[in-house]
């Protein structure tokens, strides 16, 4: 058989192969009795940025909010999208990525899930929990554990094709962080729209960026995971974040 052509899709990091990036979407599930109101929300910007930077995007779907974990091995890395709330599949994919060592880019809710996973892992150690971490995550939600807290002034309308720059604000990058190495900058601009923020980062994570009011805008887990509260999929100005997982 001949060699694969440049840009062909194939597993792993082999030369001339496009990386398969699993997009973990937001969702609206179980809000009514309407079967067709249960939906997964794939925003065009995520696959657009992955394709523009040389990756192959695929969607991660679930059944009643739970992912088919066997399918995750098909992906080389994951992008966690923004959204309104966590579902079990968010936690499942983050746990799989953490244990498999596959790269993650977490965006908005995705960064919050990244922090949530590591908070749950730390809580499991504190409690001596020997069951599945997903079960502890569900238990902590029932206990009304505050993974995030409300914040004002970080969502002023909706981003459109013509107003992205209006939503951008400075993100002050932590010196020596991976984010600084990726961007080559001490301050970057990011477009945000969120009503909650992380106030208690997990011990395993490093804060890599903040806004003027101190809101955490970037978290890192070594060289494997990067989370940002802003939306780099809104335009092409922060494409180095997508290239980091390719």
User: What are the residue ranges in the chain where pLDDT is below 70?
Assistant: 1-16
**Is 3 inside a domain boundary?**
no
Query: What is the three-class DSSP state of 143?
Result: coil
Q: What is the pLDDT of residues 70-128, one digit of tens each?
A: 889 999 999 999 998 999 999 999 999 999 999 999 999 999 999 999 999 999 999 99
Neighbours of 155 (CB within 10 A): 13
Across-strand partners of 59? 23
**Is 79 inside a domain boundary?**
yes
Closest CA to 40 of 59, 68, 20: 59
- Residue 3 is predicted with a pLDDT of 38
Report d(CA 44, CA 161) in Å as an integer: 12
**Is 2 inside a domain boundary?**
no
- Residue 158 is predicted with a pLDDT of 82
**Is 75 inside a domain boundary?**
yes
Domain of 91 in residue numbering reads as 8-243
Across-strand partners of 195? none
Domain count, the chain: 1
**Is 205 inside a domain boundary?**
yes
- Residue 8 is predicted with a pLDDT of 47
**Is 57 inside a domain boundary?**
yes
Place of tokens 């335009």: 235
- Residue 14 is predicted with a pLDDT of 46
- Residue 195 is predicted with a pLDDT of 86
- Residue 159 is predicted with a pLDDT of 83
**Is 58 inside a domain boundary?**
yes
| CATH, residue 203 | 3.40.50.880
Q: What is the pTM of this model?
A: 0.91
**Is 1 inside a domain boundary?**
no
């Amino acid at each position: 058989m001949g060699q694969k052509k440049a840009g062909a899709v194939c597993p792993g990091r082999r030369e001339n192969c496009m990386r398969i990036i699993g997009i973990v979407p937001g969702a609206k599930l179980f809000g009514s009795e309407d079967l067709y109101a249960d939906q997964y929300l794939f925003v065009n910007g995520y696959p657009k940025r992955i394709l523009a930077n040389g990756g192959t995007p695929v969607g991660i779907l679930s059944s009643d909010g739970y992912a088919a974990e066997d399918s995750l091995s098909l992906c080389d890395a994951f992008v966690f999208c923004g959204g309104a709330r966590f579902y079990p599949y968010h936690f499942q994919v983050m746990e799989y990525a953490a244990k498999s060592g596959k790269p993650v880019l977490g965006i908005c809710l995705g960064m919050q899930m990244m922090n949530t996973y590591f908070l749950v892992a730390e809580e499991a150690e504190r409690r001596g929990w020997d069951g599945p971490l997903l079960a502890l995550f569900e238990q902590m939600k029932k206990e009304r554990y505050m993974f995030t807290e409300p914040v004002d002034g970080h969502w002023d309308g909706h981003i459109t094709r013509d107003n992205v720059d209006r939503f951008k604000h400075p993100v002050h990058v932590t010196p020596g962080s991976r984010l600084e190495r990726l961007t080559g900058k001490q301050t970057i601009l990011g477009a945000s729209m969120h009503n909650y923020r992380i106030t208690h980062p997990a011990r395993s994570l490093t804060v890599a960026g903040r806004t003027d009011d101190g809101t955490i805008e970037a978290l890192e887990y070594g060289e494997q995971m990067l989370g940002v509260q802003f939306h780099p999929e809104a335009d092409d100005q922060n494409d180095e974040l997508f290239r980091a997982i390719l």
